[in-house]
Amino acid sequence: AGEDNIAKPDGPNALVINILSLMLHHYEAEGDQWRTLAYRKAIATLKKQTVPVRTAAQAVKLPGIGSRLADKIEEINKTGDLKRLKYTQGEGKFEVLELLKRIYGVGNKTANKWYSEGIRTLDDVRERKDLTANQQTSLDHYEDFAERIPRDNVTKHFERVRDAVHEIDPEIEATAMGSYRRLQPDCGDIDIILTKRNASRHDLTVTLAKLLDVLFEQGFAKYTFGGIEANSMRWLGASAHPDDGNKWRRMDILLVPWEERGAAFIYYTGNDIFNRSMRLLAQKKGYRLNEKGLFLAPHDRKSAGAVGPLVCGEDEEKIFETLGVPNRPPHKRII
């Protein structure tokens, strides 16, 4: 027999002791002193037993074994396994991280940190005392935000914004972007570009500030996740429309200078994979493409985002033409 825990003869309760030891190691690693102590005591007690301890009722009578541990002992005897152990050992880690990263302001770093601290469910997150306001709001409306938005309802949200901005300035061009422009039947959020010929960045930010005042006043805009500062060219927020059941939806409003309109339209139409292939194509042909324009490649490549002189930014059609590819209609820009 080997020297590992599995083969160690621990008497009639070897399996239970083995699995509880794995739990003990986990709680030790987490620095959970209270549980570490509880598991140590229980294991010591079980090692002294000369008969199998099969049920919770038997276990709870022994010194140093509480009712929760007693339940686990019974579970191990019945199933040969312990669900909580799989949980702590990271079965389904990917799914948990994906769940957590859907909270606004939770990226890989936070998700992994929380995971290592034992967070597995949204209810676990809800118990945390260190949530930011964005995280809290995102959590409060998690189910709404997680749901795809039927296309017709996106139209309602978009039209509300378009109508409100036209009250402020009828020359603003408002376009629904992203999956909506690709004619998808449902969308993850509402993406809107606002632009205007001959308007400065400053002009656009002033209009956005007025627009948000109106939309919040109406009760349509619900929350700002980011970008309400005076000079921000975007608003990341939430809106709710009565014709959409007043569900909270994620909305991105992007301000785009007219000169960048074509490149921004390509970028914010997506999808993201199509964008990547367009950027690669541009590179192959000696250009650089980003959301601001099509540029010549830089002479010396100092940084990753470096670009040479602007070739074209305003005209979506012309960017495709310059790259020597037919202008694909948005609904075909899916890779």
Q: Which residues are catalytic?
A: 72
In angstroms, give the least distance from the CB of 195 to Mn ion.
Answer: 17
Among residues 188, 226, 298, 308, which is the contact residue for ligand DCP, using CB under 6 A? 188
At a CB cut-off of 8 Å and minimum separation 6, what does 334 contact?
182, 271, 273, 274
Nearer to Mn ion, 191 or 314 (CB): 191
Binding positions for ligand DCP, 151-180, rule CB under 6 A: 178-179
CB of 148 to Mg ion, least distance (A): 10
Residue choice 39, 111, 119, 189 for contact with ligand DCP (CB under 6 A): 189
Q: How far is the CB of 114 from ligand DCP (least distance, A)?
A: 23
**Residues at the site binding Mg ion, with contacts judged by CB under 5 A:** 178, 189, 191
Distances (CA, A) of 252 to 65, 227, 228, 239: 54, 10, 12, 10
Question: Which of ligand DCP, Mn ion, Mg ion, none interacts with 275 (beta carbon under 5 to 8 A by kind)?
Answer: ligand DCP
Q: Tell me if 180 contacts Mn ion by CB under 5 A.
A: no
Q: Kindly give the residue spans of alpha helices, DSSP state H, lying in 290-333.
A: 316-323
CB-CB contact of 213 with 119 (8 Å): no
User: Which range of residues in 15-23, 101-109, 182-190, 299-307 is near ligand DCP by CB under 6 A?
Assistant: 182-190
The vertex-320 CA angle with 279 and 177, nearest 5°, equals: 75
Instruction: Take residue 176 and report the two structure tokens written for it.
Output: 């629904």
Residue 316 interacts with ligand DCP (CB under 6 A)? no
- Do 63 and 46 contact (CB within 8 A), yes or no? no
What letter represents residue 82's amino acid? Answer: L
Q: Considering the rule CB under 5 A, would residue 244 count as an interface residue with Mn ion?
A: no
Q: Which of 262, 270, 313, 330 binds ligand DCP (CB under 6 A)?
A: 270
Told to check if 205 binds ligand DCP by CB under 6 A, we report: no
The CA distances from residue 241 to 61, 220, 246, in Å, are 59, 6, 5
N residues, the chain = 335
Residue nearest to ligand DCP (CB): 270
3 state SS of 291: coil
Handedness of CA 221, 223, 227, 229 (dihedral sign): positive
Contacts 24+ apart (CB under 8 A), 220-229: 220/160, 221/251, 222/248, 223/137, 223/248, 225/104, 225/105, 225/134, 225/137, 225/138, 226/134
Least separation in angstroms between CB 274 and ligand DCP? 8
Does 189 engage in binding with Mn ion (CB under 5 A)?
yes
Taking the complex as a whole, how short is the minimal distance between the CB of residue 71 and ligand DCP, in angstroms?
42
Options 75, 244, 252, 260; binder of Mn ion; rule CB under 5 A: 252
For the bound state, the minimum distance from the C-beta of residue 252 to Mg ion, rounded and expressed in Å, comes to 7
Residue 260 sits in the site that holds ligand DCP (CB under 6 A): no
Per CB under 5 A, residues contacting Mn ion are 189, 191, 252
Per CB under 6 A, residues contacting ligand DCP are 178-179, 187-189, 191, 267-268, 270-272, 275
